[in-house]
Amino acid sequence: MTNTAAGPGVTVTHGEAEGATVHPQWQSENQNEEECHWQGRAVPKDVYDALNAPYRGQHFGPEALKVLTAFKDIPVFVPTLDDPTNGKNVRTQLVCIYGQRFKHTAAYCRINPGKLLPKLLQNSDVPDEFKLNLCDSAYASSANVWEADYLEKKRKAEASVCGRGHLE
């Protein structure tokens, strides 16, 4: 018997009380979807897809992607007592490829490369050439300040090597 008042696809079997409805979320997850597992745990397909998508499916422009190339993208599933959802259970851990000391964990669809840029520029493990490449296209004030400081230090170093000894 189908209870049409409860909505399409909601079925009440003869073993249940007459007029009772079964919430679609409580129905077997395997009826119309393939069963998905993440690290041995059954998860809904949308959670599985998010965990397998780069940056959990979040999209970025070219400048943001330049910042993210400094990181290894690691999907993280955070178990809770509730049914798994993207917002509650899916995270992204970004680990800097230039030094494991710099890690950042972001909630689902909350990766912000603009906030990662100043931290990358301050990190001594990140090569200056990579930082300069980031500053070429970045419009953030932190990138402009870092680039100006770097170029000034480089100019002073070259001047001292050339034997000028003092700068005006």
Whether pLDDT at 120 is above 50: yes
CB burial class (10 A; 0-12, 13-18, 19+) of residue 120? buried
Average model confidence (pLDDT) for the chain?
Answer: 80
Average pLDDT over residues 90-111: 94
Considering only residues 138 and 10, tell me which one the structure prediction assigns the higher pLDDT.
Answer: 138
Check residue 165 and give its pLDDT. Answer: 53
Inter-helix orientation angle 113-122/141-161, to 10° = 20
Whether pLDDT at 145 is above 60: yes
Largest CA distance in the chain: 95
What gap in Å lies between CA 131 and CA 9, rounded to an integer?
A: 54
With beta carbons less than 8 A apart as the criterion, state whether 76 and 88 touch.
no
Check residue 35 and give its pLDDT. Answer: 76
Considering only residues 108 and 20, tell me which one the structure prediction assigns the higher pLDDT.
Answer: 108
Quickly count: other Cβ atoms within 10 Å of residue 166's Cβ. Answer: 6
Read off the pLDDT band of 160 (50, 70, 90). confident
The tens digit of pLDDT for each residue in 6-41 reads 334 333 333 333 333 333 433 344 444 567 999 989
Check residue 163 and give its pLDDT. Answer: 63
Domain ranges of the chain: 1-32, 33-161
Check residue 139 and give its pLDDT. Answer: 73
- Interior angle at CA 99, CA 93 and CA 63, nearest 5: 65
Percent composition of the chain: helix, strand, coil (DSSP 3-state, to 5): 40, 15, 40
Check residue 130 and give its pLDDT. Answer: 95
Task: Encode burial over 132-141: b for 16+ CB neighbours within 10 A, e otherwise.
Answer: eebbeebebe
Annotate 66-112 with DSSP letters as a single string.
HHHTTEEEEEEE---SSPP-HHHHEEEEEEETT-TT-EEEEETT---
Average pLDDT over residues 73-79: 95
Check residue 136 and give its pLDDT. Answer: 84
Check residue 99 and give its pLDDT. Answer: 85
State the Cα torsion 139-141-147-153 to the nearest 10°. Answer: 170
Check residue 17 and give its pLDDT. Answer: 36
Whether pLDDT at 146 is above 90: yes
The pTM score is 0.71
Q: Which amino acid is at 144?
A: N
